[in-house]
Amino acid sequence: MCRWLAYSGSPVSMETLLFMPKHSLVVQSLHSELGAEPTNGDGFGVGWYTDDPQPGLFKSSEPAWNDRNLRELSRHIDSGRVFAHIRASTGSPVQQTNCHPFRHDRWLWMHNGYIGDFAKVHRDLLLQVAPERFPEIEGSTDSEMFFQLALTAGLEDDPPLAVARAVGLIEEVGRAHGVTFPIQMTVATTDGKRTWAFRYSSEGRSRSLFHSTDISTLREHYPDNVLLNMVSDDARIIVSEPLSTLRGAWREVPDGSSVLVEAGTQELTPFAPVPWSVATSVPSSAAPVPAMAAVPRDQSGQAIGT
């Protein structure tokens, strides 16, 4: 089982975000939890946005939290959008090319979970990746394949639909190979401006997903918290693990939902797979089409923290 966090808001030191256990909303619990979790030593990765058109990536196949380079970089890099992931391999080799987040142009992607019986379905899924995308695949994980499927399905144009289609394909191919539960996932993706996170599993018992609530309210309750005082009101964090430190700080994303964080707002939406074929005849840059009605995104979620 992997773990991840996605931050967006005013630029903060990555050190504060990732390492300061006494002062940080996030790592305060995440870090101690990490200490208690034996199986997250199979590498890690961090992605962050600067003025460069492409986000930066730092990945290592070694255990994360003792890594000196990560500490150094975190101390010297501020960013307003950070993805961080620690990996627990479910079988594929421990190597940098298998570390999350994965990147395509301005997009980052990270995943906690698995594609069921990946060895069985790997080839069939790979054949669905757009041939021109093929050379971009560097590693051997189910998570990178999932990303490439979502890109093929139009992630850059309509992330929720693209993820829903990729999940639809994974379930379809899995079932064709007799896999009972073809997917288990929490996924985060961003273009550097908006962050989407998804919680879903074929089994209906998905891994956990939480997002932070309104910072200004929290700040009133916890006036001494350093991170709360460092970040702006529009800061939001999405994490794969429940953080218990600050009561009222975290809300669970319901199973079968996605959350969109943008400019200090978050919006919950139901999430369910759609058939891979749904949008194939639709130009990816086209306006929304009837087929999209199949995506249950239009039952819009309630605003949170208001």
Neighbours of 155 (CB within 10 A): 25
Which listed range, 124-132, 184-192, 203-211, 237-245, lies at the site for a second copy (CB under 8 A)? Answer: 124-132
Burial of 128 (0-12, 13-18, 19+ CB in 10 A): middle
Q: With respect to a second copy, which residue has the nearer C-beta, 138 or 203? A: 138
Closest CA to 190 of 294, 252, 269, 105: 105
**Token couple for 220:** 């009133």
Q: Which two tokens stand for residue 207?
A: 């891994």
The neighbour count for residue 32, using CB atoms within 10 Å, is 14
Q: Does 244 bind a second copy (CB under 8 A)?
A: no
The nearer residue to a second copy, 123 or 205, going by C-beta atoms, is 123
The residue among 178 and 290 lying less far from a second copy, judged by its C-beta, is 178
The residues that bridge with 78 in the sheet, in sequence order, are: 13
Nearer to a second copy (CB atom), residue 126 or residue 289: 126
Would you call 305 helix, strand, or coil by DSSP?
coil
- Considering beta carbons, is residue 56 or 264 the nearer one to a second copy? 56
How many whole angstroms separate alpha carbon 172 and alpha carbon 193? 32
Per CB under 8 A, contacts with a second copy among 26-85 are: 35-39, 41-42, 48, 50, 52, 54, 56-63, 66, 68-69, 72-73, 75-77
Q: Which stretch binds a second copy (CB under 8 A): 128-136, 216-224, 230-238, 284-292?
A: 128-136
Residue whose C-alpha is closest to residue 86's, from 26, 164, 145, 13:
26
Q: Is 178 in the site for a second copy (CB under 8 A)?
A: no
From the CB of residue 252, how many other CB atoms can be counted at a distance below 10 Å?
12
Could you tell me which stretch among 90-98, 182-190, 222-230, 257-265 binds a second copy (CB under 8 A)? 90-98
Give the one residue of 22, 105, 134, 233 binding a second copy; rule: CB under 8 A: 134
Query: CA 201, CA 3: separation in Å to the nearest integer?
Result: 16
If one asks whether residue 126 binds a second copy (CB under 8 A), the answer comes out as yes
How many whole angstroms separate alpha carbon 153 and alpha carbon 198? 16
- Residue 119 touching a second copy (CB under 8 A): yes
Q: By C-beta, is 48 or 271 nearer to a second copy?
A: 48
**Interacting residue ranges for a second copy, rule: CB under 8 A:** 35-39, 41-42, 48, 50, 52, 54, 56-63, 66, 68-69, 72-73, 75-77, 89, 93-97, 119-120, 122-123, 126-127, 131, 134-135, 137-140
